[in-house]
């Protein structure tokens, strides 16, 4: 009786080891003793049963609204963190003059040739291009932006020139979900 559990354990170990071998290795074992000139077989490895293959997941970021219902984020632009208000009504990313200066962007007076309508009226801005804007694990390259003169904004805005390059975004129950 003492030998039966050992025989059973050896049998289970063999079965598990055999099942763990790839299907191509098992086929090679089956055909190893044959000498006929059979065509070579290629076995493609499939996804495990019940698990469909899916493309890699896109990065997602969830932002909670502040007490006023605004979504404030801190993206990295050109290796500098900027405090920004997400503004789905702003057509472009808008930088305060101070944030632009911190990024090394210093438009000449003649470059403020773009008219923008804001909640506070019409203001002149300087068009710039941001090489990359990183928000969490989301990276967006070549983002159109505008630098506004001192006093035009209290905080930089993350507008649709960034948001439109995402897979999508949505707002629900005090949270904004951004999909890279």
In a domain, 11, yes or no: no
Q: Note down the domain range covering 147.
A: 60-179
* pTM of the complete model: 0.69
Domain membership flag for residue 19: no
* CA 95/CA 109 separation, integer angstroms: 16
Domain assignment present for residue 164? The answer is: yes
Nearest of 38, 40, 44 to residue 23 by alpha carbon? 44
User: Domain with 81 in it: what CATH number?
Assistant: 2.40.70.10
**pLDDT level of residue 11 (50, 70, 90 thresholds):** very low
Q: Place 56 in a pLDDT band, splitting at 50, 70 and 90.
A: low
Mean pLDDT of 102-127: 93
Q: What is the mean pLDDT of the chain?
A: 80
Q: Give the residue from 83, 95, 86, 99 showing the smallest Cα distance to 147.
A: 95
Number of domains forming the structure of the chain: 1
The residue that leads in pLDDT, 128 or 40, is 128
Residues forming beta bridges with residue 132, ordered by sequence position? 141
| Contact present, 86 and 63 (Cβ < 8 Å) | yes
Residue 89 inside a domain? The answer is yes
């Amino acid at each position: 009786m003492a030998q039966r559990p050992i025989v059973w354990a050896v049998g289970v170990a063999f079965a598990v080891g055999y099942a763990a071998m790839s299907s191509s290795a098992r086929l090679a074992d089956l055909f190893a003793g044959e000498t006929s000139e059979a065509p070579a077989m290629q076995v493609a490895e499939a996804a495990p049963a019940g698990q469909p293959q899916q493309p890699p997941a896109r990065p997602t970021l969830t932002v909670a609204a502040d007490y006023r219902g605004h979504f404030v984020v801190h993206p990295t632009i050109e290796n500098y963190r900027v405090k920004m208000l997400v503004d789905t009504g702003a057509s472009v990313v808008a930088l305060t003059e101070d944030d632009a200066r911190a990024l090394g962007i210093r438009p000449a007076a003649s470059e403020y040739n773009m008219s923008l309508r804001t909640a506070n009226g019409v203001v002149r801005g300087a068009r710039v291009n941001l090489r990359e804007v990183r928000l969490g694990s989301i990276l967006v390259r070549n983002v159109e932006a505008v630098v506004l003169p001192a006093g035009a904004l209290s905080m930089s805005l993350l507008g649709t020139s960034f948001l439109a390059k995402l897979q999508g975004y949505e707002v629900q129950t005090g949270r904004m979900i951004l999909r890279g």
